[in-house]
Structure 1
């Protein structure tokens, strides 16, 4: 009983009293929480309650928390009150985000399973992740790919129950599913898909190789996460983790899991993001980035300056993972990651906060991490919502 109370205190709820919200966000809502970070909304208008069937997992970035997604979660619930349950991940927050992409990915996978087992009517699943959270989510879906999650507390570990006549344990049946659910949207926002090493991927280094080299050598300051981001975690036997993650690798189906989603979308800051460069967040080579003079504002979404629809790709071609820091230059690892990730199609949405007073906080503004500081990103969140596939 005490542990349940403590867990409820740690999670957050969408109460209307956020001091930095404008009056539009101060109006009472009818959102409800189960006390474990999951939110849905009472229908209240049809006379009949309908259980939501679509689970939306929101994942925070480095040194972040579930609180970072509270604005976006509220907007999703207002738009789709009867269709979705939003779960803002709580398992990787604050200093736990230094534990490494693999450790955090496993924790997120376990957390997703624990949510799924509590909701019997779920049929679909989507992920929306900010910054490092996109890499964590990519690892988690590989762990969850093809798993049969029986939604009973005693079977929350993903194993099949003893009554195989009622719960067939067929690998083929769950192929293409994420934790037994239909994968719909996989959306990343300012995520360093290609890591943070090389080719001006961290704008705050101003393109200086010396600064970048020092940062790479001191990546241990960010523990295992730093090594993963700067691709310094390889050994004689294995490539860096982020390079492994662009193919199905051993028993982890990284690309099969990504391919299973109906949509994959990469939102990227074209400018003013000092932590994650345009190339790595949009999964493009630098010569493939749109020319800045061709970017134009959208009347409905003022900070969306470019949209690219998903293109058909040949996913059959395989790429070698024989990529080692000592034997390859960083650019070769980057090329390997781009080729691997673009074996599946991506929608790309480029964002610019040029002219905004909040432009220097672009990395957080694109997510609306804190409304009073990052409110200009509200149109980006609205764009995510308007194009969300139910």
Structure 2
């Protein structure tokens, strides 16, 4: 919980113009069919500031349907059990933030949010983020991460009862969430009960917090953690080098700054590509420390039939490390799940023969893999693309294994 005098305040950033480009934007899924309408008009506040203002005066409306209470305001939609919400003394302490992907909206997570609350009515309140919807997803991972961080801070201030936080993100939303949690990361002095003493050298005198809350789950679905550049990371290009080069050179024409970030062609003020910077801690943002703060990190990756996000980039694997087809087996309870890798910190890359020259010329993908595998990940491999009620068993798998 963030106290009233919390020091966790996002620094001001210089206004960055929105990049609305012509052409047809690619969706992150062939099955996306999010509802559209007035919600896009709500986000026009972003045109004057790179970080939306979710002040105390933000408008709010409520509705109840099917036992679920949905509270809608300018910062997104909160979903919780209607019965629990009616109890003045009972309120869920675990906040789940759900983040959409490219050209998506909060509607993309409607089905999953409802199932979450039905399974844990007295434990969870689910927030479907709205700050990065439609064409706002072209503004760049950093800008969208700043928006999401500000939205989460506003949400936590509005709900002082919450004590824990988890993130569930789809496609591009996984990168946005990674940036946001780095912005929200802080270390709080550990409270030691009288008579107790910290034992062992591994006992830290501080506690890792995200937005002042205890971080529990960080889960991504089909997220391009290694970007979309080469190595079959953008499957619709069929791994053809010529097409992959062309995509890198023209991505910004379709997806603005986000396209540059995904294809690692950004060069802001001479800095390395943003996705490369996001695999290590820096003085300003603790990207890896923030991920490490979560009790578990989970990657759901599509083994096939995802034409926008490659298997390797969504599972943070080298191509030669991906499970062999002979290892893929259907799960009777979860038919879309074909392979589950337990949490593993081992980096299988053999560095014994690496020279300083090889290290210097190591490609960007290799550096990102080495950086992101500093923390352990659970990997869940899925046989085909799904979302909402399509392949509902994948949603159930996530919920059944969710740490409360």
So what's the TM-score if we normalise by structure 1? 0.77
Aligned partner (choices 280, 297, 301) of residue 247 of structure 1: 280
SS in 2 for 1:218: helix
CA shift for structure 1 position 198: 1.1
- Alignment partners' CA distance in 2, 1:4 and 1:253: 29
- Alignment partners' CA distance in 1, 2:281 and 2:298: 20
1:72 aligns with 2:119: no
- Alignment partners' CA distance in 2, 1:377 and 1:249: 39
Aligned partner (choices 90, 106, 113) of residue 50 of structure 1: 90
Which stretches of structure 1, 4 residues or more, deviate above 2 A after TM superposition?
A: 2-9, 12-15, 28-36, 42-49, 172-175, 234-237
- Alignment partners' CA distance in 1, 2:63 and 2:141: 27
- Structure 1 equivalent of residue 137 of structure 2: 97
**Cα shift readout 1:74-98 (whole Å, capped 9, x = no counterpart):** 0001001001110000100000000
SS in 1 for 2:340: strand
- Structure 1 equivalent of residue 69 of structure 2: 31
- Alignment partners' CA distance in 2, 1:108 and 1:173: 29
Instruction: Give the unaligned 5+ runs of structure 2.
Output: 1-41, 43-54, 189-203, 348-355
1:387 aligns with 2:401: yes
SS in 1 for 2:186: coil
CA shift for structure 1 position 376: 2.9
Q: 1:13 to 1:65 in 2, by over 3 A?
A: farther
CA shift for structure 1 position 39: 1.8
CA shift for structure 1 position 59: 0.1
- Structure 1 equivalent of residue 191 of structure 2: none
- Structure 2 equivalent of residue 348 of structure 1: 379
1:60 aligns with 2:100: yes
CA shift for structure 1 position 34: 5.5
- Structure 2 equivalent of residue 183 of structure 1: 215
Q: 1:147 to 1:40 in 2, by over 3 A?
A: farther
- Alignment partners' CA distance in 2, 1:129 and 1:380: 14
Q: 1:235 to 1:309 in 2, by over 3 A?
A: same
The answer on whether the counterparts of 1:43 and 1:49 sit within 8 Å (CA) in structure 2 is no
The answer on whether the counterparts of 1:43 and 1:50 sit within 8 Å (CA) in structure 2 is no
Count of residues paired in the alignment: 323
Q: 1:255 to 1:4 in 2, by over 3 A?
A: closer
SS in 2 for 1:187: strand
The answer on whether the counterparts of 1:193 and 1:281 sit within 8 Å (CA) in structure 2 is yes
Q: 1:136 to 1:236 in 2, by over 3 A?
A: closer
SS in 2 for 1:310: strand
**Cα shift readout 1:300-353 (whole Å, capped 9, x = no counterpart):** 000000001102459xxxxxxx99xxx85xx71000000000000000000003
In the TM superposition, 1:155-170 aligns within 5 A as none
- Alignment partners' CA distance in 2, 1:236 and 1:33: 41
- Structure 1 equivalent of residue 25 of structure 2: none
- Alignment partners' CA distance in 1, 2:111 and 2:138: 25
Q: 1:175 to 1:233 in 2, by over 3 A?
A: farther
- Alignment partners' CA distance in 1, 2:187 and 2:345: 27
- Structure 1 equivalent of residue 392 of structure 2: 378
Give the structure with the larger strand fraction: 2
CA shift for structure 1 position 44: 6.1
The answer on whether the counterparts of 2:84 and 2:121 sit within 8 Å (CA) in structure 1 is no
Q: 1:173 to 1:123 in 2, by over 3 A?
A: farther
Q: 1:235 to 1:63 in 2, by over 3 A?
A: closer
The answer on whether the counterparts of 1:39 and 1:85 sit within 8 Å (CA) in structure 2 is yes
- Alignment partners' CA distance in 2, 1:142 and 1:311: 22
So what's the TM-score if we normalise by structure 2? 0.75
- Structure 2 equivalent of residue 86 of structure 1: 126
Instruction: Give the unaligned 5+ runs of structure 1.
Output: 16-27, 149-171, 315-321, 354-361, 369-374
CA shift for structure 1 position 4: 10
